[in-house]
Amino acid sequence: MELYSLTIHELQEKLRAGEVTAADILDSVYQRIDQVEDKVHAYITLMKEAAQAQAAAADTAIRNGDIKALTGIPIALKDICCTQGFTTTCGSRILHNFVPPYDATVVEKLRASGAVFTGKANMDEFAMGSSTETSSFGVTRNPWDLTRIPGGSSGGSAAAVAADECIAALGSDTGGSIRQPAALCGIVGMKPTYGRVSRFGLVAFASSLDQIGPFTKDVEDCAILMNVIAGYDPRESTSVNIEVPDYRSFLSRGIEGLRIGIPREYFIEGIDPEILASVRQAIAVLEKAGAKCVDISLPHTEYCLAVYYIVAPAEASSNLARYDGVKYGFRSQEGRDLLDMYKQSRSAGFGDEVKRRIIIGTYVLSSGYYDAYYKKASQVRALIRRDFDEAFKKCDIIATPTSPTAAFRIGEKTDDPMQMYLSDIFTISANMAGIPGISIPCGFTGDGLPIGLQFLGGHFQEGTLIQAAAAYEKTAGMSALIARQKQAKMNFA
Amino acid sequence: MEFEPVIGLEVHAQLRTDSKIFCSCSTQFGAGPNTHTCPVCLGMPGVLPVLNRKVVEYTIKMALATHCRINRENSFARKNYFYPDLPKGYQISQYAYPLAEEGGIEVEVEGGKRRIGITRIHMEEDAGKLIHDEHFPSSYVDLNRTGVPLIEIVSEPDIRSAEEAADYLRRIHEILVYLEICDGNMEEGSFRCDANVSLRPRGQEEFGTRAELKNMNSFRNVQRALEYEIKRQQYVLEAGGEVVQETRLWDDAQGVTIPMRSKEEAHDYRYFPDPDLVTIAVSDAWIEEIRGTMPELPLEKRERFLRDYQIPPYDAGVLTTSRALADYYEEVVRLCGQPKVASNWVMGDILRFLKEDKRDIRDCPISAAALAEMIRLIEDGAISGKMAKEVSEEMYRTGKPPQTVIAEKGLVQITDEGALAAVIEQIMAANPTQLAQYRGGKDKLFGFFVGQVMKATQGKANPQLINDLLKKMLA
């Protein structure tokens, strides 16, 4: 067994036992990167030298008996997380040379826990996309089938974990950007409750929806990373100051008696039949293990996508105004005067999808349209939130497919934004309501592509999601299935 | 037709907090360019604002002082526009839910009192500033001021003359400075004002089309700009024309308002709630706590001065123009017990000295105690009023207490009747002709003898005593 294929908890055991060093682990991961990165293209920037120094420091710490939660564990960061001294591009030409003088809070926390950073992972430009095809730095390919997309926007992070180019990764989720690529790459991805993980240092896309979360190979690793990154941050006003439980303590609680809500609006036509069957099968497994299924309704589901494509672009149009060529990042040298400099810099610096959303967002906030679009959308958003409040009176978690399809082919949806937007139809509602969600692997299509099962929970109920996910993973023997599939299918040819 | 001006004012006041509104950078004026900046006020990617509680507290003070309703829940919005001095591409301000609304203050014009309504008071962040190179086609950006807290105080269109506008501004300025929440410095831009002005036929309810005036950086300029603009609109209307709704800039050198290029004002700010900040909850307990720390306001102080010190309204007005001056005056009164005399000295000599030196009362070399002591010396007859003028000048120049000055200058008044009588005897003996003429009925010569006594005593003789003795001895 190669070290790169192991999980955080497996590696930590070996580190504690003195069987391996952090340097060994990093070497193994970098060997893997050397093997497959030119095919997968999960990274925008590799941080090998700094990582070697971190690994050396980890080994020193271990020798001194100082092992923290992530000591010596190679982790990839979505290139939306600011890293002091290392380029943070957000997948955009306009930030191609931006080096932040600060770390994001999550980066600080990972550093403090002894993590080793492999590099900055590719992503859709400013996290706008569901396929990682809108990146200014090239497409990331799905390790399960290199002709397919890894999902998005955190496709680089997901692909890096799935291809063993890191042990775990961080991503960000504004409408499904962690859960959907996790599903399409056959790994675990969690979007925490809004306010649970600090957004400080996360380059903003839609501030009321963005949330950072982990990509891991199994549920236990998800709990380990959540233990590190969750918590109040005085530098973020929307961060919530409530106690963080030990998420690992939920891993072995089982599923007996847990009420699982099945929302009728999420099991509809248009879902790939293989996916529907796999998710239903997973629910049956849970029921057999002692969970109780409850039929629930989330009546405003049909408006989620529309509301999202008003609220998110509106916030984005404002958040992205700072990229004007004045202070940092890309500035066009063509500008004749100030206005022209703005226009040239932004025209050349942003890609099409980002421009599309800036235009939509500007439009819905414009005088005369605000009430009809932004204001109305905010009102409907409140109704969507209420749907979940009502639903969680009847159940503990909600189960749905993560994505209506498995990984699609590169280029398949790039010319049809509406089709692309539908990729997030099951994930967007959690961001609208601010609730946590997790995607875990629940099987494979006939073509050998991973399928994801999504659990949603009430505010700050990440523990319950981890509990259910861990129970399912164990009962379904998922880790072994994935390992077998990987052996058989993941060949990078 | 007779026209009535309708004026509303928007005041921007910088709050005197130590740190900026959304980060911990210093708000100090005059530092090297971009030295008071951090990733937050520079608008770097991924950084987030955290509200400075002091800003809310100061704004609540202003709201209480201007009798506004304080919204127990209020929030920030983003005002979106592009400009290099605005690093985020939006200004964080309050829009739909300001901190305070529906207040007002009293102004006084031509003896009459009027209430001018205040529509709202809201918090926002200041922008930076551009510095243009005169020799080179480039501009520089200084972001030290970016994120300095501001409050915007918007009046109702209740103001009816340029004079009234100027008085309203002075009152607002006075309150801000009294509350010690704004330094009121107009040159450094800590206190700025824009005006909306329109005309309507007297008696008409409906407002006319308004122009917005900017770039007036003193009370006097606000008044001049409004006077000019009122006349300009009157000419336009009387000539049968229409006032165009536009922004006009005051040109101080030429004394006119000129239209801003329309391109510069064609903004749709696309306000929307700032998702990075949470609703500000203001509890009753917090308001009461702040109310407990409020100083006496200018109007209250003025009324108390009238009542307690029995001084004329004019005096009360002058003495309460600043808290420090009022405190100084009150200390003098407390120590000397003579309100009107104290008022005369403070308003007269003291303010004249300070004005000549462009000094603040807080830096006055004559302490309140020293001035009170001098007033007591006059009262006791130790020095004459005339001598006191000389003494006070010396006290101001040297900072020495009155006794020291008097001793050094040998200014002690001669109040010894015997000594003075001896002097008078000598003068009578030396001027037999004048004495004979006086006694012969030439009363005017009394002054001659007074002068001789003063001369002989180098002005140190008590004038009252001279008078009494001369009358007795010359008779």
How many Cα atoms occupy the beta-carbon half-sphere of B447 within 13 Å? 2
Q: Which residue positions in chain B have pLDDT lower than 50?
A: none
Question: Rounded to whole angstroms, what are the CA distances from A222 to A16, A225, B253, B417?
Answer: 20, 5, 69, 104
Q: Which of A286-290, A423-427, B111-115, B384-388 has the least mean pLDDT?
A: B384-388
Out of A206, A237, A365, the one facing B49 most closely (by C-beta) is A237
Q: What CATH architecture does domain A3-264+389-489 belong to?
A: Alpha-Beta Complex (3.90)
**Contacts of range B295-301, beta carbons closer than 8 Å, 24 or more positions apart:** B295/B178, B295/B179, B295/B180, B295/B323, B297/B65, B297/B175, B297/B178, B297/B179, B298/B171, B298/B174, B298/B175, B298/B178, B299/B106, B301/B326
Out of A81, A201, A237, the one facing B276 most closely (by C-beta) is A237
Query: Which residues in chain A have Cβ-Cβ distances shorter than 8 Å to B23?
Result: none
**Are A367 and B43 in contact (CB < 8 Å)?**
no
Q: Computed over its alpha carbons, how large is the radius of gyration of chain A? A: 21
Rounded to a whole number of angstroms, the distance from the CA of A430 to the nearest CA of chain B is 17
- Give the pLDDT confidence score for residue A292 in this predicted structure: 96
Active site residue: A92, A113, A131, A153, which one?
A153
Give me the numbers of helices (H) and strands (E) for chain A, helices first please.
16, 11
pLDDT at A347 over 70: yes
Rounded to a whole number of angstroms, the distance from the CA of B9 to the nearest CA of chain A is 24
Out of A81, A201, A314, the one facing B272 most closely (by C-beta) is A314
**Are B272 and A199 in contact (CB < 8 Å)?**
no
Rounded to a whole number of angstroms, the distance from the CA of B271 to the nearest CA of chain A is 7
- Give the pLDDT confidence score for residue B22 in this predicted structure: 97
**Are B268 and A366 in contact (CB < 8 Å)?**
yes
Query: Which residues in chain B have Cβ-Cβ distances shorter than 8 Å to A97?
Result: none
Task: Could you list the beta-strand ranges (E) of B126-245.
Answer: 129-132, 139-142, 149-155, 191-201, 211-216
Question: Rounded to whole angstroms, what are the CA distances from A143 to A32, A168, B71?
Answer: 13, 15, 55
Query: Which residues in chain A have Cβ-Cβ distances shorter than 8 Å to B275?
Result: 206-208, 238, 315
- Give the pLDDT confidence score for residue A55 in this predicted structure: 98
Query: Which residues in chain B have Cβ-Cβ distances shorter than 8 Å to A98?
Result: 45
DSSP result, B251-290: ETTTTEEEEPPHHHH------EE-TTSPPEE--HHHHHHH
Query: Which residues in chain A have Cβ-Cβ distances shorter than 8 Å to B44?
Result: 100-102, 322, 327-328
Q: Are A47 and A86 in contact (CB under 8 A)?
A: yes
Q: How far apart are CA B159 and CA B7, in angstroms?
A: 5
CATH, domain range B417-474:
1.10.10.410
Instruction: Give me chain A's average pLDDT, please.
Output: 96
> 3-state DSSP call for residue A462?
helix
pLDDT at A376 over 60: yes
Q: Which of A279-293, A462-476, B452-466 has the least mean pLDDT?
A: B452-466
Query: Which residues in chain B have Cβ-Cβ distances shorter than 8 Å to A234?
Result: 50
**Are A207 and B275 in contact (CB < 8 Å)?**
yes
- Give the pLDDT confidence score for residue A221 in this predicted structure: 98
- Give the pLDDT confidence score for residue A444 in this predicted structure: 97
Q: How far apart are CA A370 and CA A356, in angstroms?
A: 18
Residue B362 DSSP symbol: G
pLDDT at A261 over 60: yes
- Give the pLDDT confidence score for residue B265 in this predicted structure: 52
Q: Are B177 and B323 in contact (CB under 8 A)?
A: yes
**Are A200 and B48 in contact (CB < 8 Å)?**
yes
- Give the pLDDT confidence score for residue A270 in this predicted structure: 80
- Give the pLDDT confidence score for residue B62 in this predicted structure: 97
Lookup: tokens for B251: 């040109």
Nearest Cα residue in chain B from A317: B80
| pLDDT tens string A210-228 | 999 999 999 999 999 999 9
- Give the pLDDT confidence score for residue B263 in this predicted structure: 52
Q: How far apart are CA A89 and CA B284, in angstroms?
A: 46
- Give the pLDDT confidence score for residue B431 in this predicted structure: 87
A236 φ, ψ (degrees, to nearest 5): -125, 120
Rounded to a whole number of angstroms, the distance from the CA of A222 to the nearest CA of chain B is 24
Residue B159 DSSP symbol: B
> 3-state DSSP call for residue B192?
strand
Strand (E) or helix (H) holding B307: helix B298-309
Determine whether A153 is an active site residue: yes
Active site residue: A92, A131, A135, A177, which one?
A177
Chain B residues touching chain A at CB-CB below 8 Å? 39, 42-51, 78, 80, 82, 84, 87-90, 141, 268, 270-272, 275-278
Where along chain B do its domains lie? 3-288, 296-409, 417-474
Determine whether A130 is an active site residue: no
Neighbours of B83 (CB within 10 A): 16
Q: How far apart are CA A454 and CA A447, in angstroms?
A: 21
Residues in chain B: 475
- Give the pLDDT confidence score for residue B223 in this predicted structure: 92
- pLDDT tier at A262 (50, 70, 90 boundaries)? very high
Q: Which of A442, A433, A364, A435 is nearest to A401 (CA)?
A: A442
**pTM for this prediction:** 0.89
